[in-house]
Amino acid sequence: MTVVGRSWNRLTVPGKLIFAGLPILLVMTVGLIVAVILLGGPVLDVLSDNVPILRFVVAITAILLITIPTAFLIIYMEMKIIALMNLRIGPDRVGPGGSLLSVVHGLKVLMKEDFTPTGADPIVFTWAPVVTYLAAVMTLLVIPFAPGFFGQDLNIGLLYFFAIGGLSVVGLLMAGWSSYNKYSLLGGLRAAAQVISYEIPLTLSVVGVILLAGTLSLNQIVLNQGGWFSNWYVFQQPLGFLIFFIAATAEANRTPFDLTEADSEIVAGFATEYSGMRFGFFFFAEYVNVFIISALTVTLFMGGWNAPFPWPWDITLALDPGQLGVMLLILVAVVPLILTVAFAAPLWMISARIKGWQALLGGFVLANLFVVAVIGAVAYVGLDWVAGLLWFLGKTYAFVFLFVWMRGTLPRVRIDQLMDFAWKWLLPVSLLNLFVTAAAIVIVDSVKS
């Protein structure tokens, strides 16, 4: 072992990071600055000529990047909420309140052995999780997260959504067949039967919304639901909403329709032979699916990124920080102190047990929270996308909570009961919904004219 090797071994992990990381960082920074100086000009010219493409690329990247953290968050939510419903604690140790556990799970699946079972078709086996995952993620392209925040405003957005979303069944079938395992086969066939059966009520229940909105574009549908919450389509299409919700639960293979992965019956269904990151793809695809169906429910029926009340004022921020000049520096120095003292004084006066320094500390914390709140309010009021994003995420995660709640409470249905329900109940009811909606529209239009 050389001197360098031994010295390297004596370093702690942070030491190693600094020793190895800093030079690399320096080189990268210098290289980046050089590249920007040399190539900056021409690159900017090219980019500004192709803004739509650039915007699209950024949107796709953002979507792909948010799916994994979203999946992590939903996995953690599920573990924690079901645990609390079961009167136990759930993840507790990893990170505050166990919140980093799903990140650890993600790392774990990356580190597991990657194998293909004997007799399995290697190409189909490898691509099955990819197909499932892509089918899930590609649907996020058309969902409007906030005003102006969508991948692409396709004027056939909803059709695109169902078309691409339906590809997930191909992935399930590929997984079930190629695993060369009877359990997987059963699971895959069950999954295929289930997803296909519930596609029809799913799409039919949404046609009512399409008729009301007059367009397949999801962005336009959300815009139509602006103003008061009574404009939301859930009040005009309650039956449609109900059918959609049930059919979407079945599409996403969630309880009570999770018999494709019923682990008390057929082990893990179609994913029995998958391990490591291959299984990770299925796992994440399922939770991204939960997010997607929640997002779609919110978009179609619950007003998307609209707040429940209309925007009563038209505020534009008329501030220009540059005008202040030196006053800005003075303000930045003085305002925190003033706020700290302002919040500390009442704390100090409330109780004699709070000493001066404790009051100042509490004041500091409260001042920070106040500043964050002010910035948040300003952003909310001034930037419409902040408000939209907050409302959209809030509503979506409310629906995710609903799905998790159902998982913790309900048992699963049997395959024949499930098929029965889809073909004999949901399909006729969704057709009924469609006819009634169409008739109502015709009548209302003729009355108006």
Partner 1 sequence: MPIEPAHQSADDPRVTLDRELGVFEPVPPYPPRTEREAEFYTLGDGEMFINMGPQHPSTHGVLRVVLKLDGEKVVDLDPVLGYLHRGVEKLCENADYHQAICYTDPLEYVSSLFNEWAPVLAFEKLMDVQVPRRAEYIRVLSSELNRIASHALFLGWMALDLGGLTPILWSFIERDEIVDMLASLTGQRMLFNYFRIGGVNGDLNHDFMSRLGDWMSRATVQIESGNALLNENEIFVRRMRGLGTIDTATALRMVMTGPNLRATGVPFDIRRAHPYSVFPELEFDIPTRSEGDCLARYLLRMDEIKQSLRIIDQCLHNMPDGPVMAKLPRLMRPRPGRAYAAVEGPRGQYSTYAISDGTDQPFRMRIHDPSFIHLQSVGLMMPGHLIADTMAIMASLDPIMGGVDK
Rule CB under 8 A: say whether 68 interacts with partner 1: no
Nearest distance in Å: CB 183, partner 1? 7
Q: What angle do CA 384, 391, 298 make, to 5 degrees?
A: 120
Rule CB under 8 A: say whether 414 interacts with partner 1: yes
Rule CB under 8 A: say whether 410 interacts with partner 1: yes
Report phi then psi at 9, rounded to 5.
-65, -25
Name the H helices within 302-426: 326-350, 356-382, 384-409, 415-420
Rule CB under 8 A: say whether 259 interacts with partner 1: yes
Residue closer to partner 1 (CB basis): 242 or 341: 242
User: How many residues of this chain bind partner 1 (CB under 8 A)?
Assistant: 33
Among the listed ranges 26-34, 153-161, 181-189, 284-292, the one in contact with partner 1 (CB under 8 A) is 181-189
For residue 154, the one-letter residue type is L
| Three-class SS state of 430 | helix
Among the listed ranges 156-164, 255-263, 312-320, 330-338, the one in contact with partner 1 (CB under 8 A) is 255-263
Residue closer to partner 1 (CB basis): 101 or 209: 101
Nearest distance in Å: CB 85, partner 1? 6
Residue closer to partner 1 (CB basis): 119 or 214: 119
Give the whole-angstrom CA distance, residue 350 versus residue 14. 45
Per the DSSP assignment, residues forming a β-bridge with 149 are 146
Give the whole-angstrom CA distance, residue 19 versus residue 21. 6
Give the whole-angstrom CA distance, residue 347 versus residue 362. 8
Rule CB under 8 A: say whether 256 interacts with partner 1: yes
Indicate if the alpha-carbon torsion angle 411, 417, 423, 427 is positive or negative.
negative
Residue closer to partner 1 (CB basis): 132 or 184: 184
Helix axis angle for 276-301 and 101-111, nearest 10°, is 140
Rule CB under 8 A: say whether 355 interacts with partner 1: no
Rule CB under 8 A: say whether 263 interacts with partner 1: yes
Rule CB under 8 A: say whether 254 interacts with partner 1: no
Nearest distance in Å: CB 240, partner 1? 22
- Cβ atoms of 250 and 422 within 8 Å: the answer is yes
Give the whole-angstrom CA distance, residue 249 versus residue 300. 16
Rule CB under 8 A: say whether 270 interacts with partner 1: no
Contact flags string 94-133 toward partner 1, x per CB under 8 A: ------------------------xx--------------
Q: What is the largest CA-CA distance in the chain?
A: 92
Give the whole-angstrom CA distance, residue 101 versus residue 39. 43
Rule CB under 8 A: say whether 408 interacts with partner 1: yes
> Terminus-to-terminus CA distance in the chain, angstroms?
91
Among 149, 162, 180, 229, binds partner 1 (CB under 8 A): 180
Nearest distance in Å: CB 89, partner 1? 11
Rule CB under 8 A: say whether 90 interacts with partner 1: no
Give the Cβ contact number of residue 95 at 10 Å. 14
Among the listed ranges 9-17, 83-91, 203-211, 348-356, the one in contact with partner 1 (CB under 8 A) is 83-91
Nearest distance in Å: CB 370, partner 1? 41
Give the whole-angstrom CA distance, residue 342 versus residue 360. 10
Nearest distance in Å: CB 10, partner 1? 46
Residue closer to partner 1 (CB basis): 60 or 85: 85
- Structure-token match 């695809």, residue found: 285
Residues in contact with partner 1 by the rule CB under 8 A: 82, 85-88, 118-119, 180, 182-183, 186, 190, 255-256, 258-259, 262-267, 407-417
